[in-house]
Amino acid sequence: MRSNYHNPVLLKETVDGLAIKEDGVYVDVTFGGGGHSREIMSRLGERGKLIAFDQDEDARRNVIEDDRFVLINENFRYIKRFLKFYGVKKVDGILGDFGVSSHQFDVAERGFSTRFDADLDMRMNQKGSVSAYDVVNEYEETDLRNVLKVYGELRNASAIAREIVSARKTELIKTSDQLKEVLRRFLPKFKEHKILAQIYQAIRIEVNQEIEVLKEFLLQTPDLLDKGGRLSLISYHSLEDRLVKRFIRDGMFEGKPEKDFYGNINVPFKKVKGLVVPSEEEIKENNRARSAKLRIAEKL
């Protein structure tokens, strides 16, 4: 394992949240550099088992050589299907650390970072058919505006989309530097990084279908977790965190849960603790931890 691959955020708090049993079966749906997985493994006994998911081919380099460990090189939206394939019906805990890994940000050619000039890519699965190039150069103006508005929470999404569509008529936008140049008038000196980060976030979420994937995953968790099993989930932006918070509370994303004859709400989870955020010390050591929000839930 390369130690600089990814510095796991809220490592102790997230794994503590799973309330590990030595002979339990656990799932890490965002393996990455394996930091959270290794901490889980250190708490398992001989009969324990850990199954990890990561769609990024690069994650294979960090595989844990242990008979109790399995890495599935697939998107965690297919969690139930692959657990069934491996003969696993119920698990004792599921950990998710969503968003982009440090490794993906730091490898320039992946196109995730605003710091480098690179081809517009942003695919977490490098075999994916849609890249940032496709979103920027092929989406209709209305669709592009919606992506920027909903996923980037940009007030001037309409004007940004209009500028991109106008510019690409003259020349296709192939690199991050080209995109920055096209959007120069929307990037005031002291807010350039913040606005670019919102634009990149929006495009990245669209490319990887991150919101749809998160919803599909969450909806499968009540069936997969044994009674008393735990969810321990880290989100990095408000869109994800709202979905996680709402699902833990209501077992759904919209509407209100139904009440039984006695007025009791039938929900699959109960919240464990409140919202957990990184300490100032952790943020100093790892700046990418600053927006992390950890929520823990227990299956009823």
CATH of domain 108-208: 1.10.150.170
Quick one: average pLDDT of 142-149?
Answer: 98
Instruction: Extract the runs of DSSP E, i.e. beta strands, from the chain.
Output: 25-28, 49-53, 69-72, 91-97, 225-235, 269-276, 293-299
CA distances from 209 to 45, 74, 77, 220, 294 (A): 36, 14, 10, 17, 21
Please check whether the two domains, 11-102+210-299 and 108-208, share a CATH topology.
no
Per-residue pLDDT at 1 exceeds 60: no
Domain spans of the chain?
Answer: 11-102+210-299, 108-208
In this structure, CATH architecture of domain 11-102+210-299: 3-Layer(aba) Sandwich (3.40)
State the sign of the Cα–Cα–Cα–Cα dihedral 112, 289, 2, 64: negative
**What's the rounded Cα separation, in Å, for the pair 129 and 260?**
45
Mean pLDDT for 37-63 is 95
Q: Please name every residue paired with 26 in a beta bridge, in sequence order, or none if there are none.
A: 50, 93
pLDDT tens-digit series, residues 237-269: 999 999 999 999 999 999 888 887 887 888 999
d(CA 277, CA 290): 8
For the segment 104-143, what is each residue's pLDDT rounded down to a tens digit? Answer: 555 655 766 767 789 999 998 888 899 999 999 999 999 9
Using 50, 70 and 90 to split pLDDT, how confident is the model at 277? Answer: very high
Query: Looking at the predicted structure, is the pLDDT value of residue 217 above 70?
Result: yes
